[in-house]
Structure 1
Amino acid sequence: MDARLDLALKQIEFAREYVETLLADIQADEWFRMPAGASTHLGWQLGHLAMAQYGLALFRQRGRQPEDLQLMTSSFRKQFSRGTVPEPDPAKNPPIAEIRDTFDRVYQQALLELPQIAAATLDEPIDMPYAAYPTKYGALLFCSCHEMLHAGQIGVLRRLLGRAPVR
């Protein structure tokens, strides 16, 4: 595997492992709670991370595939896209199991596909929006940075929910 691809993949795996530690003791009744001072909830954070990882690690790398609808529905993607407003009413959100399953499915698919990417494609340009580098490699690097940014938000939510810090 190309060294750059290996680095990006390891960073993506590290970010996910860290997010998993933040979620380990979260209870079902906390997923959509928006504590005082918070403008988001854990359900939105995970839905957004699934949507973003799909975009950065799969769609930006190989385009949309017919089987992608098995990974994530169009309505799911639209509900958790950048700029959407988290809805605290559980009835107006997908069930926790659907959010969690989508979060896990997209990640597992990325782990399957990313090692197969041809190194020569990493420098191919991508369209806006992008962060740092307008290339496929830049999208992969940003994938882990984005997940860690939201890990910080998840960490703050944990504290606002009365949970102890992790690590």
Structure 2
Amino acid sequence: MNAKDVLNATLDTSSMVLNKYLEDLSDADLMKRPGEGCNHIAWQLGHLINSEKHLLEAVGADSGVELPAGFAEKHSKESVGDDDPAHFCSKQEYLDLFDKVHAATKAALEKLTEADLEQPGPEYFRSMFPTVGNVYVLIATHSMMHAGQLVPLRRALGKPVVI
């Protein structure tokens, strides 16, 4: 297994976990906040999608994914307090966009060589993610960082353990 295989496996695992946690949640459930000071799940999903697209493009890959008009703004740090469901997508829309961006990430990764992964990452991120490979690790694990917030919400909603 080489680095690209590991990154692909991590992308797949992260996606599987996120999908398992979301599979029985409703659109209304996505507007709930897992705890005080947490962002609701709809915002988090948009953040994950927007971030993956941005990171992919930051390492020089063309994602080829066009997000709906205003999507980035609706999922920005400035919008974290917005609880109006009309400003957010349905669960299916988020899942479709997530899949498109994830497919673009996997396609971009496929084109890279091992040497490409060792190239410097974006300058503004280099202190934490010094190489292109490190940025792909972030992309592959970012949804897992947020998945932990879904568990307390699932418990509060009386949802079963899925993993």
> TM-score with structure 1 length normalisation?
0.81
RMSD of aligned Cα (Å): 2.5
Deviates more, 1:145-154 or 1:127-136: 127-136
Distance of aligned partners of 1:68 and 1:130 in 2 relative to their CA distance in 1, 3 Å threshold: farther
Q: How does 1:82-97 map to 2 (within 5 A)?
A: 84-97=79-92
Provide structure 1 residue ranges, at least 5 long, that are not aligned to the other structure: none
Instruction: Say which is worse superposed, 45-54 or 98-107, in terms of deviation.
Output: 98-107
Query: TM-score of the superposition, structure 2-length normalised?
Result: 0.83
CA distance in 2, matches of 1:21, 1:114: 24
2:115 to 111, 120, 132: 120
Structure 1 stretch displaced more, 140-149 or 129-138: 129-138
Structure 2 unmatched runs, 5+: none
Structure 1 residue 83, shift from structure 2 partner? 6.2
* Match in the other structure for 2:154: 158
Deviation, structure 1 residue 90: 0.5
- Work out whether residues 44 and 86 of structure 1, in 8 Å CA contact, stay in contact via their aligned partners in 2: no
Q: Which amino acid aligns with 1:26?
A: L
Map of 1:16 onto structure 2: 15
Equivalent pairs, count: 162
* 2:96 corresponds to 1:101: yes
CA deviations on 1:132-161 (whole Å, 9 max, x unpaired) are 332111101112232111011122222233
Q: Specify whether residues 96 and 80 from structure 1 end up closer, same or farther in structure 2 by C-alpha distance, changes over 3 A only.
A: same
Give the 3-state SS of the residue equivalent to 1:62 in structure 2.
Answer: coil
1:1-167 alignment runs, 5 A limit: 3-34=2-33, 37=36, 39-56=38-55, 58-64=56-62, 67-69=64-66, 72-73=67-68, 75-81=70-76, 84-125=79-120, 126-129=122-125, 132-167=128-163
Structure 1 runs of 4+ off > 4 angstroms? none
